[in-house]
Amino acid sequence: MSARASTALLTDRYELTMLDAALRDGTAHRRCVFEVFGRRLPGGRRFGVVAGTGRLLQLIEDFRFGDEELRYLRDERVVDAATVRWLEDYSFRGTVTGYREGELYFPGSPVLTVEGSFAEAVILETLALSVLNHDSAVATAAARMSIAAGGRPLAEMGSRRTGERSAVAAARAAHIAGFDATSNLQAGSEWGIPTMGTAAHSWTLLHDSEEDAFRAQIVALGTGTTLLIDTYDIRTGVETAVRVAGTALGGVRIDSGDLPTVAAQVRRQLDDLGATSTRITVTSDLDEFALAALAASPVDAYGVGTSVVTGSGTPTAGMVYKLVARRDAAGAWVPVAKTSSAKGSRGGRKAAFRTLVNGVAAAELIAVSDGFDELDTVAEHPGSRPLQTTLIDEGRCDATALGAAGVAAAREHHARVRAELPVAAHALSRSDPTLPTITVDAS
């Protein structure tokens, strides 16, 4: 049993009632392939960003049923005694392949493929979707903001606008997709993300004057600090900040007003006072559209809160977890698929590739195999790169995807693959996905 807290009850009841019934009728041990994919990109986004993979792998490793979890299942009569005994020894011993964290995805992309017995794979559905849907939504919004920021530094500061654990996950996802720092100390400690922050309006209001507040902050943090100048009158705040700190003042922050106009006025005033190197940071309910509107303004850095941690109006990626292949009673592999109107899926195991033309992404290519071992490789699809990698091999997690090192690797990978996108993908307007998804039968 892991020393960390169990994640086994972070699931829906019907996952365990299906397990219970499958153990009764003998289908629990049939080998199965489940797939996580999105039928569409919600919000009219032009691409999606895979995030949460490293978190999910650790959570799967901790998906064990200890005495407390088993007692709850018995007391609430969720499953029968035989299923409780089966769960006592549960750990996922199958294989998970998927897109690397930070990778881009499109409708139909097999973001995650889970292979194992029905029993061990089905009960991971809720956990996989809760992590990938939240983190991918945040990362997709963050990537759009990173593009709109045009290379200017971005800080995530939305902890107070979401749940306490969601805040940590959101900071992680935003950093992978291009944000430079976070205000959340737990995210910094847990995932190795740079942290930032100086003072809020309450600091200024605590003191008898704005000047007293600025002087105390400079004593504590030095002249390189950033002073919040809009608690009262902004013009007076700028004058006081430079008078107290001198022209070597590190920065000022603006959190209100018509930001393009105010930023221009503050820049002129700072320059007139000789503080030509003092940086301007703006905050105040920014999203990707507000960032784009500030592109021509004399702004040096941004802080984004509510919008990024809530997916900028799209709080879930809308991914689903579906059974796509199983062994039948005779042991033969059978592709299976849901055929409901507007909710259909494609059965069979899949290999995914990104086709490139002169280094620019052109299409998402999905090769579908009706069998189990006949997956296409990049050799069958020249001019493309493979998108899937092994994340869990017979129960053993890829250590390179975990922890702070995994976050750093995902951030680097995202920067590389985002550079492959055609220019049209950088537009913020609602549209069809930038790349078409082409599905073919395996060679």
Higher-pLDDT residue of 342 and 381 is 381
Is 319 in the same domain as 239?
Answer: no
Is 328 in the same domain as 283?
Answer: no
Q: Which of 274, 299, 324 is the last residue of a domain?
A: 299
Is 253 in the same domain as 318?
Answer: no
Number of domains in the chain: 2
Is 249 in the same domain as 338?
Answer: no
Decide: 31 and 313 in contact? Cβ < 8 Å: no
Residue-wise pLDDT for 269-292, tens only, equals 999 999 999 999 999 999 999 999
Mean residue pLDDT across the chain: 96
In a domain, 396, yes or no: yes
Is 336 in the same domain as 399?
Answer: yes
Q: Which of 273, 299, 325 is the last residue of a domain?
A: 299
Q: Which of 299, 334, 355 is the last residue of a domain?
A: 299
pLDDT, average across residues 372-376? 78
At 4 the pLDDT is 84
Burial code (b: 16+ CB inside 10 Å, e: under 16) for 264-288 equals bbbbebbeebebeebbbbbbbebbb
Residue-wise pLDDT for 231-272, tens only, equals 999 999 999 999 999 999 999 999 999 999 999 999 999 999
Domain residues for the domain of 415 are: 13-138+314-347+384-435
In a domain, 186, yes or no: no
Is 416 in the same domain as 337?
Answer: yes
Instruction: Give the CATH number, domain containing residue 239.
Output: 3.20.20.70
Residue-wise pLDDT for 51-71, tens only, equals 999 999 999 999 999 999 999
Is 132 in the same domain as 214?
Answer: no
Measured between alpha carbons, how far is residue 342 from residues 206, 337, 392 in Å? 57, 13, 32
Tokens, residue 385: 């790169």
At 404 the pLDDT is 98
* pLDDT exceeds cutoff 70 at 3: no
Torsion of CA 111, 115, 121, 125, to 10 degrees: 10
Dmax of the chain from CA atoms?
83
Instruction: List Cβ neighbours of 258 (8 Å cut-off, separation of 6 or more).
Output: none
Is 225 in the same domain as 128?
Answer: no
In a domain, 70, yes or no: yes
In a domain, 179, yes or no: no
| Distance between CA atoms of residues 176 and 170, nearest Å | 10
In a domain, 184, yes or no: no
Instruction: Give the CATH number, domain containing residue 37.
Output: 3.20.140.10
In a domain, 255, yes or no: yes
Task: Tell me the β-bridge partners of 360.
Answer: 357
Is 247 in the same domain as 130?
Answer: no
Residue-wise pLDDT for 77-90, tens only, equals 999 999 999 999 99
In a domain, 305, yes or no: no
At 326 the pLDDT is 95
In a domain, 207, yes or no: yes
* pLDDT exceeds cutoff 60 at 1: no
At 402 the pLDDT is 97
Is 255 in the same domain as 330?
Answer: no
Task: Tell me the β-bridge partners of 353.
Answer: 365, 386
Is 18 in the same domain as 134?
Answer: yes
Is 278 in the same domain as 254?
Answer: yes
